[in-house]
Structure 1
Amino acid sequence: MSTDYQQAREALGGRLRELRLSAPGGPLTGTQLAVQFGWNKSKVSRLENGRQTPTPNDLHCWAAATGQAEAYDELLARLRGFESHIRSWRRQLASGHKAVQDAHLTAHTDASLFRGWESSMIFGILQTPDYARSIFTRYAELQRSPRDTEEAVRSRMRRQEALYDSTKRFHLILWEAALHALVCPPATLAAQLDRLAGTIGLDTVELGIIPLSASLKIPPSTAFWLYDDRQVIVENWHAELWIDDTASVETYLRTWRTLRESAVYGADAHNVINRARRSITGSR
């Protein structure tokens, strides 16, 4: 968890403690507050010490219990402030994957230059419906989130309309390992690779692939997207990080450029895709 994020969470916890101790009817103990809402008594301590992120409902309860309902808007603004940078999957996927896809659709609408790096699966914007369906199903199982697979697939397919927008450019780099990852049935992966090969001729897409045999200056690691070189979206197992401070964006841009030095393009990229395609056919 980032230091800035943790500091913001601790600051919010300090404000909660301040409200508890300054209640108009007299200071409340943590136990008294917990009993009112049927919380585990340790929850109050975790919230006040920045060891747990409150929900909006937690904040509403807290403001009401301390007799300071007017503080709710302030508390919610603080929460939204740091959550806008670290968006946990637990919260984002509370109603399924479609909402997350719609958020990315909005981000795509507002940007014109995209740089992406992916090491483990095909970029969402290049996925076939069947491949996307497999990905959403696997992640719903992992995150134990509601199944809205078909709605999420439709939203992801709408994002792909941007590939045919002449005002946008996509500079994408894949590690070859992503072409072999059987996160879906072999036939689905084969069709996905055919689709991937077809994107190489698009004038809006520059697709590079880093062969497994390539010499690397840095290890291939976490996937990320750069939007107009001003914002980065990074995916981890627990959350998405939406980063917009200049120093961090510059770090990811340098990372992308360093990875690009090992990528192949055009006919050479086709050859890597065809090699992966043949390996699927031979494995059946």
Structure 2
Amino acid sequence: MSTDFQTARVALGARLRELRSEAGLNGKGVADVLGWQRSKVSRLETGKQTPTASDLTKWAQAVGRPGVATELRGRLVGLESQYRSWRRQLAGGHRARQELAVTETMATQLIRGVEVSRIPGLFQTADYARHAFEANAEFRRIPRDVEAAVRARMRRQEALYKAGKLFRFVVWEAALYVLTCPREVMAAQLDRLTGLIGMDTVEIRVLPLGAQLKRAPGHGFWIYDRRRVIVETINTEMWLDDEENVGLYERAWDLTAEAAVQGPQARRLIGRARASLELD
């Protein structure tokens, strides 16, 4: 979990504890008023659990300060605007998040990205994307709106053909070998990737496994113009809008791209991965 996110959650918990103490209640007392388990009160106050907006409204009422609910909910919105749990974003399936990605992409002129274990969504074939959504739905135990999600992802790719846009991506060579789909699907995906090299709106670089690096690519990330960075973890998607973080990820992108190859060299690495599939 992000240190910044946890720090903000602990600060919110401290504020809840402060309000409870000012009301002359102990943990058991506020739990009794709310009808909650004492353990929930403890988790909220120590920053080990993220409260819901309803939790915060009820807390404000329980400590006799209903007017402070607006402040508490504002803190929560600020926390969640940067750190968005996948549990909430994907509660109804993948489609809504994919529609958001379409909007974000259309509003952006330059997208730079690094992917270390998969093909970037903007370059995926429908079959590759379908297997990715199927696997994620099973892992997260969420509704399977796979076909709607695939259609949205394919619609997002229309941006690749719009003049004035630029998509600059670094794909770690290992990602070309990660099989999350049948071999024939991966073969078609690698063919698609090769076919995109040379487009005037697309720059694909491959980071060789043996490249000399100034900084190892710890995880994937996408930079939207110079206004936002989106980073995925297993449980959270971070939307970082502050200048310091954007600048930090820009430096990380530059160092990774510097060690990567493009053009004919990138084609050769993709071709080698394609040949390793050994299809009949």
TM-score (norm 1): 0.90
Distance change in 2, residues 1:76/1:102 (3 Å): farther
Q: What is the CA-CA distance between 1:226 and the residue it aligns to? A: 0.8
Say whether residues 1:162 and 2:155 are aligned partners.
Answer: no
Q: Judging changes above 3 Å, is the alpha-carbon distance between structure 1 residues 40 and 184 closer, same or farther for their aligned structure 2 residues?
A: same
Q: Which residue of 2 aligns with 1:148?
A: 145
Q: Identify the range of structure 1 (187-196 vs 106-115) with the bigger mean alpha-carbon deviation.
A: 106-115
- 1:4 is matched with 4
Q: Equivalents in 2 of 1:186, 1:8: separation in Å?
A: 44
1:108-147 superposed matches below 5 A: 108-147=105-144
Q: CA deviation at 1:216?
A: 2.7
The question of 1:179 aligning with 2:176 is answered yes
Q: Give the match for residue 15 of structure 1.
A: 15
CA distance 1:214–1:18, change in 2 (3 Å): closer
Are 2:105 and 2:159, in contact at CA under 8 Å, matched by a contact in 1? yes
Compared CA separation, residues 96 and 268, structure 1 to 2 (3 A) = same
Structure 2 CA distance for aligned equivalents of residues 5 and 50 of structure 1: 10
1:239 aligns with 2:244: no
| Cα distance between partner residues in 2 of 1:100 and 1:34 | 36
Partner residue, 2:41: 44
Greater CA deviation, 33-42 or 113-122? 33-42
Deviation string for 1:168-223 (max 9, x for gaps)? 11111111111111101111111111111111132110111122233333223200
Q: What secondary structure is seen at the aligned counterpart in 2 of 1:277?
A: helix
Out of 75, 87, 109, which is 1:78 matched to? 75
SS in 1 for 2:276: helix
**Residue segments in structure 2 that go unaligned for 5+ positions in a row:** none
Secondary structure (helix, strand or coil) at the match of 2:171 reads strand
SS at match of 1:162: helix
- Pair 150,39 (structure 1): closer, same or farther in 2 beyond 3 Å: farther
Q: Distance in 2 between matches of 1:71 and 1:145?
A: 35
Q: Secondary structure at the match of 1:167?
A: coil
Within 1, Cα distance between the matches of 2:252 and 2:19? Answer: 44
Q: Determine the structure 2 residue equivalent to 1:100.
A: 97
Q: Deviations over 1:263-282 (max 9, x none)?
A: 221222222222111111x1
Tell me how far 1:78 sits from its aligned partner: 0.8
State the distance in 1 between where 2:8 and 2:206 align.
39
The count of aligned residue pairs is 280
The structure 2 residue matched to 1:199, chosen from 171, 196, 199, is 196
1:273 aligns with 2:270: yes
**SS in structure 2 of the partner of residue 84 of structure 1:** helix
Q: Which moved more, 1:223-232 or 1:93-102?
A: 93-102
Q: Distance in 1 between matches of 2:116 and 2:268?
A: 18
1:219 to 213, 216, 219: 216
- 2:120 alignment partner AA: F
User: What amino acid sits opposite 1:129 in the alignment?
Assistant: A
Moved more, 5-14 or 198-207: 5-14
Match of 1:59 among 42, 56, 60: 56
Change over 3 Å in CA distance of 1:148–1:61 after alignment to 2? farther
Structure 1 stretches of at least 4 aligned residues deviating more than 6 Å after TM superposition: none
- 1:240-262 per-residue CA deviation (whole Å, 9 max, x = no partner) reads 12112222222211111111122
- Alpha-carbon separation, structure 1, partners of 2:160 and 2:242: 27
TM-score (normalizing by structure 2): 0.91
Separation in 1 of the partners of 2:17 and 2:174? 49
For structure 1, list consecutive stretches of 5 or more residues without a partner in the other structure.
none
AA at the equivalent of 2:242:
D
